[in-house]
Structure 1
């Protein structure tokens, strides 16, 4: 089977690894040489993403590239603890959530794809899929992200992404006052203007991400610096402490939503990852990895592209729909008004410990199934 993958980010590189495991001939085309592409910052991988990486044979390398995070703690803007739960896993799960730079995740996946025998061509953006180099491919995978060209080829009438009412800025700070460097926790502050996330690294620095609620994005996102963010979060003391210690270049992005696509595949073309479902809520990379594993497993099981794509789409439909609804609730929590925020701060410490295990059980208990064992060349054994 000859496969062309458009996009070499998390979704595309994971697909290349998975498809080499079933013996496919894979070529990936990626516009950016830098594994981060235009997107920087960090990602936190929950246990479902780690199981997907384990199925791909990449888990140890990803764990080495990042660091484990034990707990997730939610705070009110005034410093009240609203919830304290295991980060990205159910209680008792031995795997620990891993946080790393997105660039490092992509780098690990690309290295494994190349080791397995995939060809990765960087510096080349594919926007047409009727001639070379896609001609003759049995399968064309659109892993080209939010503004996917393959999505338009699959369905010219497909909806376009829309601004979600949030924009994000991320950066690194020196060790901030009051923070214990050895404390392995992912902290989320629900502020008046949005959410502020910060977590300590083993080297003593602090990674942070500000997600600001705004009806319209700033005219120039690149001009939003740490000083401006500190003014936006001025009522959240801990956020201001971290922002005052910021150093180096910041990474900015707009958050988007994409309505459910009428179709995620057509003929020999299929969409995965953000090209099909930019879910957010910290699960974008995980859903892309899951997509790749399930697609390869269905292709291996059926041996025929049309049947495999139909089975893949059916298997992923309910989970992706549920994930999209969870992501919408996550956005609403970050953009809550003053009255809703006060109610949340009162109710959450009582309700959250009881609700959280049930609310996330479907996400973390998911079983992806296995891929064929890799031989010495990386293809199926």
Structure 2
């Protein structure tokens, strides 16, 4: 079976690994020379994503490229603790969430895809149309080309379009080792601020990786002009974000956040959408869900008699899980854009409920078993 994977990010590279593992002849097409780039934001993988990486055979390499994060702590803008839970796992799970730069994750997956036998073609932008000469002879086309997917538009010209979510994200790294005010312990920290949310976590070497998610009904006219100084003004009433921003002189990534209405046509007899092309979930789960998709798609293709049957089975398998997570992500996003009254209620109520109910509310997500890929068979 000849497979053309469109898109060389996390979803595309993971799909190339998984499909190569079951004996498919895979060509991965990427429009950019380096889809990750030399700089960028960081990404976290919770245990469900790590188990999917284990099924692909590249868990240890990704763990070496990042660092484990044990706890997730939530804070109010006034530095009051709101919650303290295990990061990306149930209590007692021996796996630990891993945080790494997105470029390092994509690089590790692409190297593994090449080792698995996939051919990677860069600098070639596909239209996503099944008649595209670059994919015309493929038995299967995997659309892994993100939220602005050309494959999705070719599959369904009437498909929904992304819209601005009322948030933009700017990420960076402190220039020097810095200790946040209050000598807070290590871990993933999220501050619910007046103008959005501010995330930071200590990285090896003593610097802090940070991401400001700014609530703005209208996006800035020039996102590239938003740097630490501009963010410091936006977060001037929050002591901890302000201290982190003052220790930084540049940003590594900036992007407008978008949402996408549910995609109703995610496959046909030959083409299938995976990752953000099918379900941009957010909530720190985009990469993990894309890797889960890759494993699930390969398993269905290995067991089904025909490609159309495999794609239908894959869609049934993934639809409810992705939809449930999308609802959780919407609630997460709404919390970051809440007004001052909602923020005050959160400060009062969250310390009593968050730690108690978080494990039950997220267990369905972290307990997911992606299964193992079958032994390589001839294509």
TM-score by length of 1: 0.96
Task: Compute the RMSD of aligned alpha carbons.
Answer: 1.7
Tell me the residue number matched to 1:148: 149
- Which aligned pairs between 1:279-290 and structure 2 lie closer than 5 A? 279-290=281-292
- The aligned counterpart of 1:225 is 227
Residue 204 of structure 1 deviates from its aligned partner by 0.7
**Is this contact kept in 1: 2:181–2:239, CA < 8 A?**
no
Give per-residue Cα distances to partners, 1:196-225, cap 9 Å, x unaligned.
000001111110000000101000000111
- Matching of residues 282-301 of structure 1 within 5 Å: 282-301=284-303
Shift of 1:38: 9.6
1:82 aligns to what SS in structure 2? strand
Total equivalences in the alignment: 377
- Residues 39 and 252, structure 2, Cα contact 8 Å, conserved in 1: no
Secondary structure, in 3 states, of the residue corresponding to 2:252?
Answer: strand
SS, match of residue 231 in structure 2: helix
Q: Does 1:11 align with 2:6?
A: no
Number of the residue aligned with 2:101: 101
Match of 1:207 in 2: 209
- The answer to whether structure 1 residue 161 and structure 2 residue 162 are counterparts is yes
Cα 1:177/1:154, change in 2 over 3 Å: same
Structure 2 counterparts to residues 311-350 of structure 1, below 5 A? 311-350=313-352
2:249 match: secondary structure: strand
Return the alpha-carbon distance in structure 2 between the equivalents of residues 172 and 4 of structure 1.
36
Give the 3-state SS of the residue equivalent to 2:299 in structure 1: helix
Please give the per-residue CA displacement for 1:21-49, whole angstroms capped at 9, x wherever unaligned: 11000000001122415982000110000
The aligned counterpart of 1:112 is: 112
Structure 1 residue 86 and structure 2 residue 82: aligned?
Answer: no
- Is the CA contact 1:16–1:113 (under 8 Å) kept in the aligned structure 2? yes
The 1:327–1:185 alpha-carbon spacing in structure 2 relative to 1, beyond 3 Å, is same
The verdict on how the C-alpha distance between 1:362 and 1:92 changes in structure 2, with shifts beyond 3 A counting, is same
Tell whether the 8 Å contact from 2:227 to 2:251 is kept in structure 1 after alignment.
no
The separation in 1 between residues aligned to 2:138 and 2:327, in whole angstroms, is 35
Shift of 1:184: 3.3
- Offset at residue 368 of structure 1 (A): 1.0
Q: Is the 8 A contact 2:228 2:250 kept in 1?
A: no
1:52 and 2:59 aligned: no
- Structural mapping, 1:219-298, within 5 Å: 219-298=221-300
Displacement of 1:372: 2.0
Indicate whether 1:308 and 2:313 are aligned. Answer: no
Structure 1 stretches lacking a partner, 5+ long: none
Structure 2: unaligned runs, 5 residues or longer = none
SS in 2 for 1:247: coil
Give the distance between the partners of 2:88 and 2:251, measured in 1 at CA.
Answer: 28
How far 1:131 sits from its partner (Å)? 3.7
Closer, same or farther: CA 255–39 of 1 in aligned 2, 3 Å: farther
Instruction: Please give the residue correspondences for 1:365-376 in structure 2 after superposition, counting only pairs within 5 Å.
Output: 365-373=367-375
Calculate the TM-score normalised by the size of structure 2. Answer: 0.96
Output the CA distance in 2 between the equivalents of 1:202 and 1:39. 17
Deviation at 1:181, TM superposition (A): 9.6
